[in-house]
């Protein structure tokens, strides 16, 4: 399936994206490079636990078959090689991550990705939050004269205990 990379990305920042950066962003904001976190030492005990849980329910003539099957699955999992992403994609993801002057987000409507300068994004966010009276109420600029309970306030339990001690 051919997809126009520029069609899915709206770049309104001053930063020019490279082709590979556009290619990564075109895959969506949830795109991640698969990582292999499970070591071979963790896989084998999990399959052994699975076998010991299954063993009481298996008939005697099927136990060897179950053992061999689970061992084969575990070994195949340990020896498998995952798909390695292109080095250019990894490099472009890292370049995008390091940039602190741009913001990458979802558009308000539809699908795709929006790339904005951080200063413009913060300005728009600030304007939207101040002007939206349904979400926020204005707060007086003066500091209140008093905050919280008066300094001589005691919880009724402690008040009773203090009067008994006096």
pLDDT score for 128: 76
Torsion of CA 120, 123, 127, 130, to 10 degrees: 150
- Mean pLDDT rounded to a whole number for the chain: 77
Range list of H helices, the chain? 5-8, 19-26, 40-54, 63-79, 87-98, 118-131, 156-165
Tell me phi and psi for residue 151, to 5 degrees.
-65, -25
Domain spans of the chain? 5-34+84-131, 40-79
With CA atoms as reference, report the closest residue to 108 among 6, 1, 12, 2. Answer: 12
3-state class of 102 per DSSP? strand
Overall average pLDDT of the 107-124 stretch:
86
Nearest-angstrom CA–CA distance, 13 and 6: 14
List, for residues 48-106, the tens digit of each pLDDT value: 888 888 888 888 888 888 888 888 888 887 777 666 777 888 888 888 888 889 988 88
CB atoms within 10 A of CB 78: 15
Which tops the pLDDT comparison, 71 or 142?
A: 71
Other CB atoms within 10 A of residue 92 CB: 20
């Amino acid at each position: 399936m051919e997809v126009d990379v520029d069609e899915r990305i709206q770049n309104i920042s001053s930063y020019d994206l490279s082709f590979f950066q556009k290619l990564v962003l075109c895959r969506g904001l949830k795109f991640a490079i698969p990582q292999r976190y499970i070591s071979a030492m963790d896989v084998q005990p999990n399959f052994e636990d699975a076998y010991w849980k299954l063993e009481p329910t298996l008939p005697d003539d099927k136990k060897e078959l179950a053992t061999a099957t689970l061992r084969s699955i575990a070994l195949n999992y340990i020896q498998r090689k995952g798909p390695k992403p292109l080095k250019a994609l990894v490099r472009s993801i890292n370049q995008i991550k390091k940039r602190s002057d741009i913001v990458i987000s979802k558009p308000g409507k539809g699908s795709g990705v929006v790339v904005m300068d951080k200063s413009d994004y913060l300005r728009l966010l600030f304007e939207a939050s101040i002007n939206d009276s349904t979400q926020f109420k204005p707060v007086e600029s003066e500091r209140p004269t008093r905050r919280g309970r008066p300094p001589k306030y005691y919880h009724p339990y402690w008040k009773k205990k203090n009067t008994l001690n006096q």
